[in-house]
Amino acid sequence: MDTAELVHALRLAIDPPGEVNIEALQELVRDDAAAAWDIGAAARHLEVSPHTLRYYERAGLIAVARNAAGRRRYDAGTIRRLVFITRMRAAGMSIAELQRYLALADAGSETVAARRELLEQHRAMLRQRIAQLQLALAVTEYKLTTYQEGHDRITP
């Protein structure tokens, strides 16, 4: 493998194709205040299980209204909150950290500094994880390139 191929493999690790954009986030958010979803529709939209949504409710992360029959109805505000929760969980934020953050958010604007500090700590952890994953991706790209050339110069 020459230097150009190694640089290309490293570039893919640092700047992979398929970036995240604002449209991807907007697809997750519901702004239709007139309608509410049942637990199945909300779970499908958020790509989580109904069990997960019930767990978030038991953990105090969300409050869900009920219809006359006692069935959960997820309004636009709850879905927006769940988008935040599911993205933070996917990014490794613990339930305890989410409980703390959301309690601060519910307490009002005087808690902005504390919320910002919590998110800055989470961002630092994410950046460290991303750097580790980028290095792992670079190693994977390098190995795939050596296999594509028909030989494996580095063991394993």
What CATH code is carried by the domain that includes residue 136?
1.10.1660.10
Name the residue range of residue 50's domain: 3-148
**Mean per-residue pLDDT for 64-83?**
93
Find where tokens 């038991």 sit.
Answer: 58
pLDDT(145) > 90: no
Q: Is 117 part of a structural domain of the chain?
A: yes
Under the banding of pLDDT at 50, 70 and 90, the label for residue 54 is very high
Contact 91, 126 (CB under 8 A): yes
Q: Indicate the number of domains in the chain.
A: 1
| Mean pLDDT comparison of 2-6, 22-26, 95-99, 132-136, highest-scoring range | 95-99
Determine, yes or no, domain membership for 153: no
Q: Residue 33 domain-assigned? A: yes
Task: Supply the mean pLDDT for the chain.
Answer: 84
Residue 95, domain member (yes or no): yes
Q: Would residue 142 count as lying in a domain?
A: yes
Say if residues 53 and 13 touch (Cβ distance below 8 Å).
no
> Would 156 be classed as within a structural domain?
no
pLDDT tens per residue across span 15-46: 555 555 556 556 556 566 667 899 999 999 89
Q: What is the pTM of this model?
A: 0.74
Classify residue 149 by burial, with Cβ atoms within 10 Å: 0-12, 13-18, 19+. exposed
- What gap in Å lies between CA 83 and CA 29, rounded to an integer? 7
- Cα gap 36→65, rounded to integer Å: 9
Could you report the per-residue pLDDT of 76-103, keeping only the tens digit for each?
Answer: 889 989 999 999 999 999 999 999 999 9
